[in-house]
Every structure is written in C-alpha cells, then in structure tokens.
Amino acid sequence: MNRSVNRPLEPQQRAIVIGASSGLGAALVRLLASHRYRVAAVARREAELAALRDELGREAVLPYVHDVTEYEQAPLLFDQITRDLGGLDLIIYAAAVQPPVSLHEYDFAKDEAMLRTNLMGAVAWLNLAATRFERARGGHIVGISSIAGDRGRVGSPVYNTSKAGLDTYLEALRNRLSRYGVSVTTIKPGFIDTELLKNASKTFWVITPEEAAALTYEAIRRRKQVVYVPSRWRLVSLAVRSIPSTVFRRLSF
C-alpha cells in the first residue's frame, strides 16, 4: 500500500540512517520509507545503496557513500543531507563492525577499527544531530547498541567496550537534550541474522533484520529510552549483570 497516495496530507518525516547498506540499517530504511519517511541512506557500499534507492524509489531514498571513520567529512555531509532532505526529524546510527577475535588474541588494529566505527563514528554524527535538535527544540536520536555492552565478556573485549561506551554516550545525550524536547533512544539487540553474526561462537533467539527493525520502529514511535530487542533480552541482561565479578570472569561467553 502506498501511504503517500492514500494519505496525501500526512506530513513527510525526514530521517538519516547511518550504516544503511545491509542488515538492520537497510531494514530500517525500508521500514521508514514504508511509513512515508524520506530517508538519507549513508554507508560505504555504493552498489548496495543504489539498489535500495532503485527498490524504494528516488523520492523515498537518497543514497550517500561515506566511511564513518572519515570524521572530518561528517559536518559537511550532514549539512548537505539536511539541505537535500529539507530538514531532519530522526537520525539512526546503525554502523558497526565486529571482526573475529580469538580468545587469546589482542590485535590493536581490529580493536581500533571497532572503536572508530562503533563509537567514534557515532559521536561524530550524533554530536551534529544533537546540536541541530537542541537549537530546534525537537528531534529524535537513535543509537543501535547491543546487549554485549552490558558486561565485559571474555569473547570480544573491545566490541563490548565500544557498545558500553555508546550506551553511556547516548545516556548522556538523553540527559542533556530531554529538557529541549529531544528524544534519545538506545536500542540493545540480541542476535540478529546479519554479517556480524558469523563471528559469534554461540547464538540463540536469532531474529531477522526485519523483525528487529519493526521492534526498533515501535520504540521510536513510542519515544522509548532504552529498549532490548526482543524484550526478553532485558531479563537476560538483568541476570547477567547480577552475577558477581568473581563468578562472571570464569564464564566462557
């Protein structure tokens, strides 16, 4: 059903999705477009972005090729995108990398890549949105974090760290911006069937990117603060966080 045809007087919302070429990011672009958002899709892979544009239509999706670790490009590109969209209502940071890390591996190059993409890229982009939304006294910031950020697990120390850092950063933005009418939502998924899943040693409760996108959209619609996707992961998190450190360090996950 074409919402723009059947509801012509409905105002069109404008969104940026960073990390939009595949997985949850691409699923969010599709879902937002189906809800009559005009979406700027930002990612490194040009072919995948072009495919999204061709699938959803040039009026619905504006593709922008960008590597989020090229921080100095973010301000100019952010300004260009908001001009092209004619404003901004929502920004979602979904970019993330998780290279395989063995139990006895301490590889700074891999660690740096995770911190630069998962955390510093988010700060570079979301700071820009925070500045704009504070001045506008409205807007919505969403960060795709992970249940992995809830404890320091043995399996991937720096991936966990990048997500824990993102959680704290988003909380700080929420506390700063709530007084200006700006919403900040932290999404904490469990296992999603994406490229990142291939590096997980054990998986369960795996959901599709489309399922995760639907739950994320509902959290955005209801302007939630912190949402586990699916919600049963909240119980897992409570259990994991209650384990004493002396016990937790002996676990293998």
250 band by pLDDT with thresholds 50, 70 and 90: confident
Contact 181, 166 (CB under 8 A): no
pLDDT at 4: 41
Strands (E), 84-197: 90-93, 139-144, 182-189
pLDDT in tens, 96-150: 999 999 989 999 999 999 999 999 999 999 999 999 999 999 999 999 999 999 9
Res. 241: pLDDT tops 90: no
pTM confidence score: 0.91
Contact 129, 139 (CB under 8 A): yes
- List the structure tokens of 74: 């973010």
Structural domains of the chain, with CATH: 3-248 (3.40.50.720)
Q: How many CB atoms lie within 10 A of CB 62?
A: 19
User: Residue 18: its pLDDT value, please?
Assistant: 98
Buried-exposed string 96-135: b where 16+ CB fall within 10 A, e elsewhere: bbbbebeeeeeeeebbebbbbbbbbbbbbbbebbbebbbe
Task: Put residue 126 in one of left, alpha, beta given phi > 0 → left and psi -120 to 50 → alpha.
Answer: alpha
* Per-residue pLDDT tens over the stretch 37-85: 999 999 999 999 999 999 999 999 999 999 999 999 999 999 999 999 9
For residue 230, say if its preceding peptide bond is cis, omega within 30 degrees of 0.
yes
Query: pLDDT confidence of 199, banded at 50, 70, 90?
Result: low
Average pLDDT, the chain: 92
The arithmetic mean of pLDDT across residues 8-15, rounded, is: 78
Does 253 score more than 80 pLDDT?
A: no
> What is the end-to-end Cα distance of the chain in Å, rounded?
44
Look at residue 10 and tell me whether its pLDDT is greater than 70.
no
